Each structure stands twice: as C-alpha cells, then as structure tokens.
Chains A and B, each alone.
Chain A
Amino acid sequence: MSFFDYFKTKKQNTASIAKERLQIIVAHERTTRNQPDYLPQLQQELLDVIRKYVSIREEDIQVQLDKNGNCSVLELNVTLPE
C-alpha cells in the first residue's frame, strides 16, 4: 500500500456484510429445513403443468408444507402475470 492509498481507503466494514448475508441465508435455510425431500421435484412438476397453460417464471411458484398438529397443509402459491 503506497503512502497516498492511506488517505484514499474508505473503511469498509466487511463484518456487517457477513452478518447481513448470513441472516438472509440462515433464515432461508431454516424455512426449508424440515421439508420433505420430494418438495423441489413436486415444485418443478407443478411448474411444468402450469406452464402448459400460462407462462410463468421459476420464482412465481412457491410450495410449502406446514404441519399443524396431526395434519399437514400443502401450501401452493402461484403468481400469474397480468
């Protein structure tokens, strides 16, 4: 590092970037943690079926399985284009 670089360097707080990235990925992984293994494939096949009729993007479909006591609820969210 040259003498003048000392004045130029803006202090970048990389620890706060790390914390932010971790909070996002950990939150995401926690929601998918207890899901059955077949869910991604189910999501893909549902996507294929819907695409036969409406053109949607990969991220327009969300599949989630929630357990409520002794019954499970399969929640399917599809955002259709306008």
Chain B
Amino acid sequence: MAKIIVVTSGKGGVGKTTTSASIATGLAKRGKKTVVIDFDVGLRNLDLIMNCERRVVYDFVNVINGEATLTQALIKDKHVDNLYILAASQTRDKDALTKEGVEGILNKLAETYDFIICDSPAGIEHGAQMALHFADEAIVVTNPEVSSVRDSDRILGILQSKSRRAELGMDPVGEHLLLTRYNPERVLKGEMLAVEDVKEILAIKLLGVIPDSQSVLNASNQGVPVILDENSDAGQAYSDAVDRLLGEDKEHRFLDIQKKGFFKRMFGG
C-alpha cells in the first residue's frame, strides 16, 4: 500500500519544496520506492531544487490530459535510486488539475511506489486543495513566526474538513509539524517563538526541527537536496525527520545553541 504524503503550509516561502525534495530523497535512500510530485501549476520549482530542470519533457498536466504517459513524464533522480520526479506544468490555466485526473494518476502510482510525496503550492486555493485532498499523512511546514503559524492552523482546518479522508469519514489525515528556519540563539533571547510554543498552539505531533542554516541555500544553489549534505546540521535534522516518519523514535537535535569548538572557530565551518 502506497502512502500519500502532502507537504503543505498555507504560507509561501517557508520551505515546502526544500522539505519535499529532502524527505523524498531520504525515503528513497532508505530503499523506499518514492515519487515526488510538484503541484505548483504555473510556477514549477521542484525540478530546480532537484537539479533536473533540463530533463523535463512532459509534466503532470500532460499526463492528466493524456498527452503523455506516466512513464514518459517521470524523471529518474540522478542522486539516489528509487526516486522519480513528476514536474509541474507551466500552463497558466490553474484549473488544469482536475480531481479525477489527480486521483487517476495517484492510483496508478500507488501500484508501484511505496511513497508518493505531494509538494503543495502556497495558499489555500485549488492547487493546494488538490495536493492535500488524497493525502494519508500531512507534513505541515511552519516557521517560528506569527503569520506562518496562523496559516498552518488554517491548513490543518482544511485537512480536517476537505480532505478525502474527512469527506469519507475515514481515519483523519496524520498531521506532522516540521518547524523550519529555527534559530535557538534568537529563541534564547526571547526574539523567536520556541518549538514548545508552536507545538502548544498547533497541538500536533512534532516531526522535526530544521535549524536556520546556510547549508540550505548552498544546497539549493547546486540543486542537491540538503539531506544529502550529511555534514550539515539541516541535512542531519532532515535525516532524523525521515527516520521518525518511518516510525523510529529519535531524539530531537539542534534545539540548543551549537557551541563552536576551538578548531571550528579558528578555521571556520
């Protein structure tokens, strides 16, 4: 049985695509057959983050419209085995994603893949609703900042009322909080919401905390998902999050200020 996971947030720019790329890569590295779908019709960014922008021939909407087969549109990832990418269309017709079309593709993918990761666009419009509609689990990406937390709460409301699971009265969509751009130093100074505060307000299970790190930008510059940068704090935090997603019990790291050792201070790092 394939598991469909939506990566969503409501607010834009909080790290949905970065998260989708890293979680999908992490699952594939652990041997799970994984496909990651970009639902951001009109914009398309996942291909850039995963460094396959020049290999996109057919996209999600082409497959829905029957202009290409799934096999033609799926792009094999170059970093890890078991990972495929389905790019978003750059069409300006925002209703190109039909519920029936999306369902058909997800059903077909579910026959061969263990995990289907849906990278949601920002907002709560049609594209975002299509991305979350068929989800079994949701990763709600949130920054420790007022507007992001509020928007996450609204997205949780939509998951609880408009998802397929809610409409059919099935078990609710599993909700996971992923707090990104976390800066323990600012939290200590009382300038930033602490992880406990956000957890308390949203009242959902914590999947992981990704520290605010230069390595995230370095990774996206090169088109390598940050989880593959195994020496970086953000990469390790994503790796822990993937383990937790697979049911492992891992302690949360990077919640406190990282003390720089003598050598790091002298030689950087």
Are A30 and B190 closer than 8 Å at their CB atoms? no
How many B residues touch A, CB cutoff 8 Å? Answer: 17
With an 8 A cutoff between CB atoms, is A16 at the interface?
yes
Chain A proximity mask over B98-142: 1 for CB below 8 Å, otherwise 0: 000000000000000000000000000000000000000000000
Q: Could you tell me how many residues of chain A have their Cβ less than 8 Å away from some Cβ of chain B?
A: 17
Which of B27-35, B58-66, B148-156 lies at the interface?
B148-156
Interface of A is mostly: helix
A21 on the interface (CB 8 Å rule)? Answer: yes
Answer whether A26 and B153 are a contact pair too, CB < 8 Å, given A11-B190, A14-B191, A15-B191: yes
- Cα A11 to Cα B190 with chains together (Å): 9
Would you give 12 A-B contacts (Cβ < 8 Å), ordered by A? A15-B191, A15-B197, A18-B145, A18-B146, A22-B150, A26-B149, A26-B150, A29-B150, A29-B157, A33-B157, A34-B157, A34-B161
- A66 vs chain B, min Cβ distance (A): 16
B146 & A29 in contact (Cβ 8 Å cutoff): no
What sequence of 0s and 1s flags, for each residue 180-199 of chain B, a beta carbon within 8 Å of any chain A beta carbon? 00000001001111100100
Minimum CB–CB distance from A6 to chain B (whole Å) comes to: 15
Please, which residues of chain B bring their CB within 8 A of the CB of A67? none
The answer to whether A15 touches B194 (Cβ under 8 A) is yes
